[in-house]
Chains A and B, each alone.
Chain A
Amino acid sequence: MKSEVKDLGLRTERMTINMGPQHPATHGVLRIVLTLDGERVVAATPHVGYLHRGIEKIAENKTLHQVIPYTDRMDYLSPASNNIGLCLAVEKLIGLGITEKCRVMRVVACELARISSHLLWLATDALDIGAGTIYFYAFTEREKYYDMFEKMTGARFTLSYGRIGGLSCEWESGLEKEVLDLVEGTPACLDEIEKLLTRNRIWIERNQDVGVISGEEAVALGLSGPNLRASGVEWDIRKAYPYLGYERYKFEIPVGEHGDCYDRYLVRLEEMRQSIGIVRQALKEYDEKIPLFPQDDASAKYYYPPKEKVLTSMEELIHQFIVATESPKTPKHEEIYLAIEAPKGELGFHIVGSGTSVAHRLHFRSPSFVNLQGLPVMIKGDMLADVIATVASLDPVLGEVDR
């Protein structure tokens, strides 16, 4: 086609177009510099850094407890998994255990975060491909999850739910039944959306064979999470390196075949359904009577005291003040890397101990940042409209990309 044009003696020119940081479909402040030949993408360079807040540097000056609210603002669509991931890493570094109830509550919080994050992805993916109504259906459902987070933690968006050795608060009694009702209602919403999209001719044509990345390339570029699994690589940290007792739960890892946008869509939809199954299994193990924090004297140094005692007795008040202001001390020259399966992929925490309660170095391996590396590979040779579909299907959160 191009050579024909050249044979006619016509001058063709490539166009460089700047997509973002202010563009309705770049999911925040992502900037992609595209070189176009007509509507075909010749080269794409993602530019990041428009939302850099230096969270990692700040974390070198804050006690570990004080870092937790900053993790809310990384992947702000699934704050619970960020908080809990950081707590897990710190607990492993200092060798701190948690109670069974706390473990179950954390699993539930992580999976609810996954479902709500994927619901938002579904909404924006559909919106970017032009199906505006799906957006509202998914958001209506997601709103119920935010209401639930509000009941669980007191906050809707930036939960700060994790505490080293536990969680910020107990569930009020009967909440586990409400959680169960909530997740049982979600498949109906997903089914409705699937009816509108999954076998829709336009949806298939817009997504199939668009933004393709092979399994090898995806592994080589470090992709993780649903984006990796859509390329046919069966890799889920919940199965590979189980944490929070995920090995006890029965769930499947949905895997795609082609590594295109359509497979990423199917994988995430199935993941939501699997998460619902995990929540259901976890809630069976929930026992209201177990305290959130261990109650024996030996562990009292690290854990929060029961809240009602804090409000009534002097000792516990002092104790809580100390735990909250002086986080547990990190062992000097010891380091740890712990990764969890966040909704977006492998969310890793690298902590280097300093001997004080402030970490010497705290690095976050954020999945969105690494997944974004795959974008130029995926969209090369595709059309301009495919760039939108691919970015949407990658599900990057810019707060996490830049940190």
Chain B
Amino acid sequence: MADIILFSAIKIVVVLAVVMGGVAYTTLAERKVSAWLQDRLGPNRVGPFGLLQPIADGIKFFTKEDITPGRSYKPSYFLAPMATLIPALITFAVIPFGESVSLSGKDHRLLIAEGTGLGLVYLLAVSSLGVYGILLAGLSSNNKYSLLGALRSVNQVVSYEVALGLGLIPLAMTAGGFDIDAIVRAQKGGVWFVVPHFIAFIILLVALFAETNRLPFDLPEGESELVGGYHTEYSGMRFAMFFMGEYANMITASALLVLLFFGGWHLPFLNYGWFGPVLGGILSAIVFACKTAFFVFFFIWVRWTLPRFRYDQVMHMMWIRILPLGLAYILVTALFLYLRGPIK
């Protein structure tokens, strides 16, 4: 028992550290990649190649004045940044990040919340919590731009929650369960799900872009329309928490895409058993991190390439295009699975 608690604690600490570090360095990556796309240099003053920039940013955020607008509703105004960051972080509880590790004859899965078997359901539930932070921020800021941003965000996130579900159901059906591990296992040695489930991949990709409020779906912020949207009135560390929440969501979304469609930590023609119980696990986690980093890059790349949708177009796309497509695809998958008959 004690070793399970200890191992879980280690996992939590390591995952949180990696994710928070990842968030910090994703902000740097965003600035570097955008600079690279725009023929600029990007941050290069703090440390070699600007590598210490996130630390400087962190110090800046902590020392900035924390401004609270007058006549704002204080309790929810202070709660909102936390309500954004915490759901973004606790989604990592169900994200497996590597092959099992064997220590003193016991198998440990590289996953914080082991044995729930309901990873996808938890993920859907927690990711819908994120919208409360945005809603609270918008409503309690006493700013019309924030209000509009919050309304847009709630509409968008709630709508695309449906798309997220629609994209996940065919995968759960194929893998035979809501366990993310099972979906990864189903892809091991075989074809990655991106090939047979390409339509689901597209649906989920769009849904995740919308869920993370990234361009082309960054209407809740829409800096050229709504100034800053729901976080217009926030400053200092409270603003940084929204910021970190967004990047944490982006990492979760990337990790999810890798797990569901790109074989998780598996690589073709590579068996982690070759490397022994511990090294294999660590290696698989590194492969997983690299794949995730690629999708983080993809998110950044898209952001700096495309213009922004308009609010009604985003809604139109969800309810007129994605919803029928998703439902039809579930039917097709069901039909295919029925005709194929049960496995084994």
Q: Does A310 contact B (CB under 8 A)?
A: no
Would A383 and B305 be within 8 Å (CB), given that A15-B144, A130-B215 are in contact? no
Given A17-B148, A196-B305, A385-B222, 4 additional A-B pairs, CB 8 A: A23-B227, A24-B224, A25-B225, A131-B307
Contact B148 A132 (CB under 8 A): no
A-B contact pairs, 8 of them (CB 8 A): A128-B224, A129-B224, A130-B215, A133-B38, A137-B38, A206-B309, A384-B148, A385-B308
Contact A383 B307 (CB under 8 A): no
Q: Measured between alpha carbons, how far is A129 from B305 in the docked complex, in Å?
A: 12
Please give, as numbers and ranges, the residues of chain A lying within 8 Å of B223 by CB-CB distance.
24
Contact A386 B38 (CB under 8 A): no
Q: Does A325 contact B (CB under 8 A)?
A: no
Contact B144 A388 (CB under 8 A): no
Would A133 and B305 be within 8 Å (CB), given that A202-B216, A386-B310 are in contact? yes
Contact B144 A130 (CB under 8 A): no
Determine which residue in B144, B219, B307, B308 has the highest number of CB atoms from chain A within 10 A of its CB, and name it. B307
Please give, as numbers and ranges, the residues of chain B lying within 8 Å of A246 by CB-CB distance.
none
Q: Does A237 contact B (CB under 8 A)?
A: no
Please give, as numbers and ranges, the residues of chain B lying within 8 Å of A383 by CB-CB distance.
310-312
Please give, as numbers and ranges, the residues of chain A lying within 8 Å of B312 by CB-CB distance.
39, 383
Total count of chain A residues near the partner, CB < 8 A: 30
Contact B38 A130 (CB under 8 A): no
Q: Measured between alpha carbons, how far is A264 from B309 in the docked complex, in Å?
A: 19
Interface of B is mostly: loop
Tell me the residues in window 231-285 of chain A with beta carbons closer than 8 Å to chain B beta carbons.
none
Contact B148 A202 (CB under 8 A): no
Q: Measured between alpha carbons, how far is A142 from B58 in the docked complex, in Å?
A: 35
Interface string of B145-165 (1 = CB under 8 A from A): 100100010000000000000
Please give, as numbers and ranges, the residues of chain A lying within 8 Å of B308 by CB-CB distance.
129-131, 202, 206, 385
Please give, as numbers and ranges, the residues of chain B lying within 8 Å of A25 by CB-CB distance.
224-225
Please give, as numbers and ranges, the residues of chain A lying within 8 Å of B145 by CB-CB distance.
17
Contact B216 A385 (CB under 8 A): no
Contact B38 A200 (CB under 8 A): no
8 smallest beta-carbon distances between A and B, as pairs: A130-B308, A136-B38, A25-B224, A131-B307, A130-B307, A129-B307, A128-B224, A385-B310
Q: How far is the CB of A178 from chain B (nearest CB, A)?
A: 22
Nearest-neighbor residue (CB-CB) of A392 within chain B: B224
Nearest-neighbor residue (CB-CB) of B309 within chain A: A202
Q: Measured between alpha carbons, how far is A137 from B225 in the docked complex, in Å?
A: 22
Q: How far is the CB of A42 from chain B (nearest CB, A)?
A: 15
Contact B224 A130 (CB under 8 A): yes
User: A206 is contacted by which of B148, B304, B310 (Cβ under 8 Å)?
Assistant: B310
Q: Measured between alpha carbons, how far is A130 from B219 in the docked complex, in Å?
A: 10
Q: How far is the CB of A220 from chain B (nearest CB, A)?
A: 28
Tell me the residues in window 300-319 of chain B with beta carbons closer than 8 Å to chain A beta carbons.
304-313
Please give, as numbers and ranges, the residues of chain B lying within 8 Å of A98 by CB-CB distance.
none
Contact A200 B306 (CB under 8 A): yes
Nearest-neighbor residue (CB-CB) of A204 within chain B: B307
Interface string of A190-233 (1 = CB under 8 A from B): 00000011001011011000000000000000000000000000
Contact A136 B39 (CB under 8 A): yes
Would A385 and B34 be within 8 Å (CB), given that A24-B224, A25-B224, A133-B305 are in contact? no
Q: Measured between alpha carbons, how far is A200 from B309 in the docked complex, in Å?
A: 11
Q: Does A127 contact B (CB under 8 A)?
A: yes
Q: Measured between alpha carbons, how far is A136 from B311 in the docked complex, in Å?
A: 26
Q: Does B37 contact A (CB under 8 A)?
A: yes
Please give, as numbers and ranges, the residues of chain A lying within 8 Å of B309 by CB-CB distance.
202, 205-206
Q: Does B181 contact A (CB under 8 A)?
A: no
Determine which residue in A129, A130, A137, A200 has the highest number of CB atoms from chain B within 10 A of its CB, and name it. A130
Please give, as numbers and ranges, the residues of chain B lying within 8 Å of A140 by CB-CB distance.
39
Q: How far is the CB of A41 from chain B (nearest CB, A)?
A: 12
Contact A205 B39 (CB under 8 A): no
User: A39 is contacted by which of B39, B40, B148, B215 (Cβ under 8 Å)?
Assistant: B148
Contact B310 A131 (CB under 8 A): no
Please give, as numbers and ranges, the residues of chain B lying within 8 Å of A129 by CB-CB distance.
224, 307-308
Please give, as numbers and ranges, the residues of chain A lying within 8 Å of B227 by CB-CB distance.
23-24
Q: Does B211 contact A (CB under 8 A)?
A: no
Q: Measured between alpha carbons, how far is A384 from B215 in the docked complex, in Å?
A: 18
Q: Does A164 contact B (CB under 8 A)?
A: no
Q: Does A112 contact B (CB under 8 A)?
A: no
Contact A130 B313 (CB under 8 A): no
Q: Does A68 contact B (CB under 8 A)?
A: no
Tell me the residues in window 5-19 of chain A with beta carbons closer than 8 Å to chain B beta carbons.
15, 17
Please give, as numbers and ranges, the residues of chain B lying within 8 Å of A126 by CB-CB distance.
307
Q: Measured between alpha carbons, how far is A39 from B151 in the docked complex, in Å?
A: 10
Would A130 and B311 be within 8 Å (CB), given that A23-B227, A137-B38, A196-B305 are in contact? no
Q: Measured between alpha carbons, how far is A126 from B219 in the docked complex, in Å?
A: 16
Contact B148 A133 (CB under 8 A): no
Nearest-neighbor residue (CB-CB) of A18 within chain B: B144
Q: Does B218 contact A (CB under 8 A)?
A: yes
Q: How far is the CB of A360 from chain B (nearest CB, A)?
A: 44
Q: How far is the CB of A264 from chain B (nearest CB, A)?
A: 16
Contact A384 B225 (CB under 8 A): yes
